[in-house]
Amino acid sequence: MRAYACLLCLLLAWAGSGVAMAQNLSGTVKPADWAAYKSRFIDAGGRVIDDANGNISHSEGQGYGLLLAYLANSKADFDLIWSFTKTELLLRDDGLAMWKWDPSAKPHITDSNNASDGDILIAYALLLAGGEWERNDFIGAAKTIIGGIGKSNVVKWQDRLLLLPGAKGFSESDRTDGPIINLSYWVFEAFPKFASIDKTTDWMQLSMTGVGLLNKASAGPRSLPTDWMSAKTQLKPAKGFPAEFGYNALRIPLYLMRARIYDRELLTRLRKGMTSESGQVVITDSDSGNVKETLSDAGYAIIPALVACVLDKVKLPEAVRSFEPSLYYPSTLHLLSLSFAHSQHPECL
Amino acid sequence: MKKPVLIIAPLIVACAAAFALQQSYLPESATAGETIRSALLGGAKGSSAQADSAGEYVVAQSGRTPARRTQPALEQPPAPATTPKVDETALRYFARQGDQRRLAAEIARLRALYPDWTPPADPLAVPVQTDASLDAMWKLYADGKLAELRKAVQDRQSTEQGWTPPADLMDRLDLAEAREQLINASDLKQYDTVIRVGAAHNSLMTCSEIDVLWRTAEAFAKTDREARAKAAYAYILDTCTDPAERLATVQKALPLLTRPDLDTLLAKAKILPDGKSEFDSIRDDLARKAVADAGSDPKLVVPQPDIERVEKLATATTGPSDPLILGWYYLRRNNFEAAEKWFKLSYDRESAPSSAQGLALAMIARSRPAEAEAVMYEWRDSSDDTKAVYMAAVANLLAQDPPVEIAPAILQRMVPEVLEAKDANAAQQLGWYAYLLNQFETASGWFSMALQWKPDDEPSSYGLVLTRQQLGDAAGVAAIQRRWAGRSERIARLGEQRKTRQPGLAPSPERFGDTLEQTQLRPTLTTPLALQDMPASTSPPTPPAPPRTLADEVAETISRQRADAYEQPALQTEQAPRPRSPEARPRQAPRGATNNAGARSVRGCTTTIDPQALSPENALSRGWCLMDINRPLEAAAAFERGLLSRSEAQRSDAAYGQSLAYLRAGLSDKAAVAASKARQQQSRQIELDIALLSSRATEAFNAGRPNEAILALDQRARIAPERTDLMILRGYSYMKLNRLADALRIFEAVAATGNKEGLRGIATIRAIRNKEY
């Protein structure tokens, strides 16, 4: 009970800080880093390319692209990516983005479902850019998307709000072990912004539920959440997905910190769980805790390092302080981490 | 006597439905439209130059409130608030590029936006604006590189203080993005998005954006806003002038709007210079669709003009499809004569399973199952439907009443089909066919077969019980009566009925009426035909005197066709039984051709005379005489005359003689009929049956139908021990069916009697087996 009350205080404090934080975010990705990133992962037509996944594009990538363009203070690139996103993905009747776009398929959309994290990222970036650059068209578009997420992806389940990963295939009626959640889809930093312009969904409650679930999701010897979990009763790995702390979940600490949810216990547990004895980020089996993959990329390594710095003032190791594009996903996480360190914790650098 | 038409109504329904499905009859317009659309799409970004009338903005409005308009929705574009300074940069760019198409489109667009504006007489004469960066932007626009254009504009704004992009460029960029989004959403069937985007961009709703208009109209229709869809199509027809696009517009509306709405659109047709109406081809397609739809749904009412239109088309064109849809249309309305006419035309133009099916169904309905069988035989294996229609033809052919003789070749090809299809109805009809020919063992076999395939079939059980009665199998009759106790009155009452009927004769023809009525099959044929061919004889339980039995009619029919008989080779004479009862036929007549000795050959029989001139008694004698000199066909004619004798004994003798005569001539079917013409002593009856079955087995084997040979042998084996030669026949029949173990068993049994044929059979089987291994 006390923990809950504390959490509430924390969230309230954080909600208040949201706006102030947003204002000094733009410009926190260095021009050179952004130029390197975009030369690698963004094509001339504004398409963010996931080069580890057959060069497809998806709503998450477009959302990250928009957010980074904003953080790099590049209006032109933002317009570029937005034009593609709008005309090629934002096609669903519910106003949301179709999540998967394949350059080799015709039509390019190969899955018309949405991915709620992609939509959240897109709407969040639009709100940030629209506010700072006084672009009402961005704000209007963001509102449509936010309304769509509230309608299609946020559900009430056992008296609490949950974020479904997509409009189709995850709900209680879609699966026997539904609803299915993915805690890395909670982009915590976006929710205070959403709450400020959309009152139809209780975004702060949704955010709180996410943190609450993270506190409960502590499975196996490593006490880590699983990427895909059934929230039907007690949290457990969802059927049909690998039961692992994987590529999805490893961004959770970053999302928490970027939202300034400095829950020491939670962040410490995640940092320790995701780090091997030799100090590398690992993907692990939820049941056994066994290491399935060791990730040496700076974009992954910077995440637990950042937790150590934020909580314990340990400076970031040299190797992760400078950006060198590798693959789309770790490079994205790397820039988001560096941007956060620049703006909030320059002492880490 | 009306001829029965066995249940074909469900078949008509099923086939018509299958046909409709397979055709999914829609005019080819959809594809034609697609081509037009993609052609337009190619030029859509620059737009085709025909937006020359002002105010061509259709109201897309919000997709949610139904629009009520008296006029085709025309709304002025969002007019610039201040007196516009017309932005001619695009105009000049296209002029410099020599892009006449886009130049014209731009002039049209600006005129639409600014009615008072006059285009420059020579866009090139204007001092060249040397803004390379802006030119590059227009180039991006022209190339459809919209995202890059966005970026270029922003880049320049960031680097060049105070620079603002031309409003015209930005408007067009907005529109182009919206067009992309709308088309993508439309391709992905996100119709709400289509309407949402369209509504937010009224300027897209122009004739130069015909594709966008079409897609928006489609989105309305697909989201149950038919009135708005109709209004959108109507707007295009009222406003846009391109003939191909107008035609495509109606074609696109075809599958989406109701017929009355379509008729409203068609009324907007222009009269072409040649006097024809612009949408004649569409009216044709619509009429075709109406008739085709009605071909699968008999409740649909097709306007007479539509039918006439299609009939005219069917006559004027040379393809098979127009007459075909008419065939189905009339078939489903029980106008079988018209149906046959159109199916025939279609079939003559192109033989295909669907027209064959329709033609056969119409022929069956018109009581010409033999022709139906002939048409369908070729197509019987094309599909389940054609098979079903073929089986219907077979069943109806067999069930014809009075029966007609079916050519052996036809019977031969039908039987294996029945066996393969396991068609209980056809098997039952084969049973009745055999029954009417007094081939009771065969009949019993077929009825049993039918019951094997359809265990609770009352008509087949009725056939079987009648057959058993004829065979004197009282226990068998009782068994069936027990089984059907309380479920079939006619089976229960069989014993009583028997008293009114001469044993050995075919049952009275009301069997068909009874059969169908009792089993509730007939009501499914809800056609006038069903009423008219309810046999009139259902009412009289006992036929009025003089009793003409079916068998009489069969015999009559056959005698009419006697000419054929002379072409039949004489076979199996050695198998004809020798009469055993001396009182019936004293055989002292010597073989001498002119010998007059004996009561029956008073005048000899070598001269040809018309037996009709003889008294029945004399004709009978002449018959035996002719038999003795081995002229069985003439003997049969003489015995026919003998059948008119007033003495029952003589009539029996004549029937027996005629039967033997036919058997000797190899005409076992006719022999069976003849045997039934008068009551026979049981011993004679069995004797004849044995001979008939032997003959049948041999015939079947020789004709390459070992299955039937075995069937006949089995039946024969029930009434007589199998002769060695027939065992050999059985052995080879098994061998042909690749039942080698059975064949070997038979040959071994024969060989055990010391018969060389048996040993040869064993050797043959071994040879086959060795080859296989």
pLDDT tens, position by position, A163-195: 999 999 999 999 999 899 999 999 999 999 999
Whether A44 sits inside 8 A of B148 (CB atoms) is yes
Grade residue B543 by pLDDT with cuts at 50, 70 and 90: very low
Whether A76 sits inside 8 A of B193 (CB atoms) is no
Query: Cα distance from B35 to chain A (closest Cα, Å)?
Result: 17
What pLDDT does residue B443 have? 87
Average pLDDT of chain A is: 92
Average pLDDT estimate for B717-733 = 84
What pLDDT does residue B599 have? 36
**Residue B517, pLDDT above cutoff 50:** no
Grade residue B32 by pLDDT with cuts at 50, 70 and 90: very low
Task: State how far Cα A276 lies from the chain centre.
Answer: 23
Average pLDDT estimate for B510-516 = 32
Whether B223 contacts chain A with CB within 8 A:
no
What pLDDT does residue B683 have? 73
Average pLDDT estimate for B41-66 = 33
Residues 6+ apart with CB under 8 A from B711: B442, B445, B700
**Residue B716, pLDDT above cutoff 80:** yes
**Residue B514, pLDDT above cutoff 50:** no
Exposure pattern of B451-473 as b/e (b: 16+ CB <10 Å)? bebbeebbbbbbbbbbbbbbbeb
Whether A91 contacts chain B with CB within 8 A:
yes
CA distance B523 to B9: 10
Number of alpha helices (DSSP H) and beta strands (DSSP E) in chain A: 13, 11
Whether B185 contacts chain A with CB within 8 A:
yes
How buried is B580 (Cβ within 10 angstroms: 0-12 exposed, 13-18 middle, 19+ buried)?
exposed
Q: Among B130, B129, B110, which residue's Cα sits nearest to residue B120?
A: B110
Grade residue B401 by pLDDT with cuts at 50, 70 and 90: low
Query: Cα distance from A51 to chain B (closest Cα, Å)?
Result: 21
CA distance B337 to B324: 14
Exposure pattern of B195-232 as b/e (b: 16+ CB <10 Å)? bbbbbebbbbbbbbbbbbbbbbbbbbbbbebeebbbbb
What pLDDT does residue A10 have? 53
What pLDDT does residue A66 have? 98
Query: Which residues in chain A are closer than 8 Å to B193, comparing Cβ atoms?
Result: 91-93, 95
**Torsion-angle region of B305 (φ positive above 0: left; ψ -120 to 50: alpha; else: beta):** alpha
Which DSSP symbol is given to B755? -
Grade residue B373 by pLDDT with cuts at 50, 70 and 90: very high
pLDDT digits 0-9 by tens, B188-204: 999 999 999 999 998 89
**Residue B619, pLDDT above cutoff 60:** yes
pLDDT digits 0-9 by tens, B434-486: 887 778 888 888 899 999 999 888 889 988 988 888 888 888 888 898 888 88
Query: Which residues in chain A are closer than 8 Å to B145, comparing Cβ atoms?
Result: 44-45
Average pLDDT estimate for B427-433 = 87
**Residue B542, pLDDT above cutoff 70:** no
**Residue A37, pLDDT above cutoff 90:** yes
Peptide bond into B72 cis (omega under 30): no
CA distance A187 to A192: 10
What pLDDT does residue B741 have? 87
**Residue B765, pLDDT above cutoff 90:** no
DSSP secondary structure string for all residues of A121-148: HHHHHHHHHHHHTT-HHHHHHHHHHHHH
Asked if residues A42 and A83 have their Cβ atoms less than 8 Å apart, the reply is no
Q: Among A149, A89, A141, which residue's Cα sits nearest to residue A117?
A: A149
What pLDDT does residue A305 have? 97
Whether B62 contacts chain A with CB within 8 A:
no
Average pLDDT of chain B is: 75
Residues 6+ apart with CB under 8 A from B372: B359, B360, B361, B363, B364, B389, B392, B393, B396, B397
Whether B191 contacts chain A with CB within 8 A:
yes
Helices B353-365 and B369-377 meet at what angle, rounded to 10?
A: 170
pLDDT more than 90, % of chain A: 89
**Residue B719, pLDDT above cutoff 50:** yes
Q: What is the pTM of this model?
A: 0.58
Whether A87 contacts chain B with CB within 8 A:
yes
DSSP secondary structure string for all residues of B498-552: HHTS-TTSPPPTTHHHHHHHHTT-GGG--SHHHHHTS-GGGS-SSPPSS---HHH
Which residue of A80, A98, A109 is in closest CB contact with B147?
A: A80
The tokens for A328 are: 């789309």
Average pLDDT estimate for B268-282 = 88
How buried is A247 (Cβ within 10 angstroms: 0-12 exposed, 13-18 middle, 19+ buried)?
middle
Torsion sign, CA atoms B429, B432, B436, B441:
positive
**Residue B675, pLDDT above cutoff 70:** yes
Distances in Å between the Cα of B208 and the Cα atoms of B120, B213, B220, B239, B765 are 22, 9, 20, 11, 83
Between B214 and B477, the more confident residue is B214
Instruction: Name the B residues in 139-178 with CB < 8 Å from any A CB.
Output: 145-148, 150-155, 157-158, 177
Whether A44 sits inside 8 A of B145 (CB atoms) is yes
CA distance B15 to B388: 9
Average pLDDT estimate for A257-283 = 95
CA distance B233 to B149: 33
Instruction: Compare all CA atoms of chain A with the CA of B140 and give the residue at the minimum distance.
Output: A45
Between A24 and B180, the more confident residue is B180
Query: Cα distance from A82 to chain B (closest Cα, Å)?
Result: 8
Q: Among B504, B510, B655, B633, which residue's Cα sits nearest to residue B569?
A: B633
Asked if residues B43 and B51 have their Cβ atoms less than 8 Å apart, the reply is no
**Residue B546, pLDDT above cutoff 60:** no
Which DSSP symbol is given to B613? G
Phi, psi of A282 (to 5 degrees): -130, 150
CA distance B653 to B659: 10
Exposure pattern of B387-396 as b/e (b: 16+ CB <10 Å)? bbbbbbbbbb
* CA end-to-end distance (rounded Å), chain A: 37
Between B684 and A294, the more confident residue is A294
Which residue of B145, B154, B184 is in closest CB contact with A79?
A: B154
| ipTM of the modeled complex | 0.88
Give the DSSP H/E element, type plus range, for residue B619. Answer: helix B616-628
Three-point CA angle A229, A234, A240, nearest 5°: 30
The tokens for A55 are: 């060069």
**Residue B53, pLDDT above cutoff 60:** no
Residue B541 burial (CB count, 10 A)? 10
Whether B154 sits inside 8 A of A112 (CB atoms) is no
pLDDT digits 0-9 by tens, B138-161: 999 999 999 999 999 999 999 999
Average pLDDT estimate for A84-94 = 97
Q: Domains, chain A, ranges and CATH? A: 2-348 (1.50.10.10)
Query: Which residues in chain A are closer than 8 Å to B186, comparing Cβ atoms?
Result: none
Whether B725 contacts chain A with CB within 8 A:
no
Grade residue B773 by pLDDT with cuts at 50, 70 and 90: low
Asked if residues B323 and B353 have their Cβ atoms less than 8 Å apart, the reply is no
Q: Among B138, B45, B36, B48, which residue's Cα sits nearest to residue B94?
A: B138
What pLDDT does residue A24 have? 62
What pLDDT does residue A192 have? 97
Which residue of A86, A91, A107 is in closest CB contact with B177?
A: A86
Grade residue B695 by pLDDT with cuts at 50, 70 and 90: confident
Query: Which residues in chain B are closer than 8 Å to A45, comparing Cβ atoms?
Result: 145, 147-148
Whether B188 sits inside 8 A of A107 (CB atoms) is yes
Local structure of B351: helix, strand or coil:
coil
What pLDDT does residue B5 have? 66
Average pLDDT estimate for B386-415 = 85
Whether B185 sits inside 8 A of A46 (CB atoms) is no
Query: Which residues in chain B are closer than 8 Å to A90, comparing Cβ atoms?
Result: 181
What pLDDT does residue B118 have? 81
**Residue B253, pLDDT above cutoff 60:** yes
Residue in the structure block whose two tokens are 């109806």: B396
Average pLDDT estimate for B101-107 = 84
Query: Cα distance from A345 to chain B (closest Cα, Å)?
Result: 29
The tokens for B235 are: 């707007």
Whether B151 sits inside 8 A of A45 (CB atoms) is no
Instruction: Name the A residues in 8-47 with CB < 8 Å from any B CB.
Output: 44-46
A117 catalytic? Reply is yes
Instruction: Compare all CA atoms of chain A with the CA of B187 and give the residue at the minimum distance.
Output: A107
| CB pairs A-B closer than 8 Å | 72
Whether B83 contacts chain A with CB within 8 A:
no
Local structure of A94: helix, strand or coil:
coil
Residues 6+ apart with CB under 8 A from A49: A41, A42, A43, A55, A56, A57, A61, A328
Grade residue B324 by pLDDT with cuts at 50, 70 and 90: very high
pLDDT digits 0-9 by tens, A124-141: 999 999 999 999 999 999
Average pLDDT estimate for A202-221 = 95
**Residue A288, pLDDT above cutoff 60:** yes
Average pLDDT estimate for B204-217 = 93
CA distance B47 to B206: 10
Whether B150 sits inside 8 A of A83 (CB atoms) is yes
Q: Domains, chain B, ranges and CATH? A: 29-253 (no CATH), 561-579+590-680 (no CATH), 695-773 (1.25.40.10)
DSSP secondary structure string for all residues of A282-328: EEEETTT--EEEEE--HHHHHHHHHHHHHHH-PPPPHHHHS----SH
Helical ranges in A24-105 per DSSP H: 31-41, 59-71, 75-84
The tokens for B255 are: 């599958």
Instruction: Compare all CA atoms of chain B with the CA of A97 and give the residue at the minimum distance.
Output: B185
Residues 6+ apart with CB under 8 A from A21: A260, A343, A344
